[in-house]
């Protein structure tokens, strides 16, 4: 009986830690995107002087940060754009 109780509690703890890990990774990518936007914005001659900082941050940051299970990544076929078949 205690074995099953420990197994169930362990299962829920693993789920909580996985969700926290995913959240932390998404939050880290958010802050890295902001850091990239700052680096790009301060570069001279980057060719994007007309772009506002807020627009640059929106382009580089992930869409949303949540604790839900992420969707499977979507695959985009770029072979048509390259002009050759793979």
DSSP string of 23-76?
A: HHHHHHHHHHHHHHHHHHHH-TT-S-TTS-HHHHHHHHS-S---SSPPPPPPP-
Structural domain boundaries in the chain: 2-62
- The whole-model pTM stands at 0.57
Confidence at residue 11, expressed as pLDDT on a 0 to 100 scale: 93
Q: Has residue 69 got a pLDDT over 90?
A: no
pLDDT digits (tens, 9 = 90+) for 48-67: 666 676 777 777 776 666 66
């Amino acid at each position: 009986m205690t074995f099953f109780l420990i197994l169930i509690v362990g299962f829920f703890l693993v789920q909580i830690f996985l969700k926290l890990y995913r959240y932390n990774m998404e939050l880290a990518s958010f802050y890295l995107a902001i850091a990239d936007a700052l680096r790009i914005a301060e570069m001279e001659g980057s060719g994007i002087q007309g772009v506002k900082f807020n627009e640059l941050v929106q382009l580089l940051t992930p869409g949303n940060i949540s604790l839900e299970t992420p969707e499977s990544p979507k695959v985009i076929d770029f072979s048509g754009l390259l002009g050759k078949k793979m």
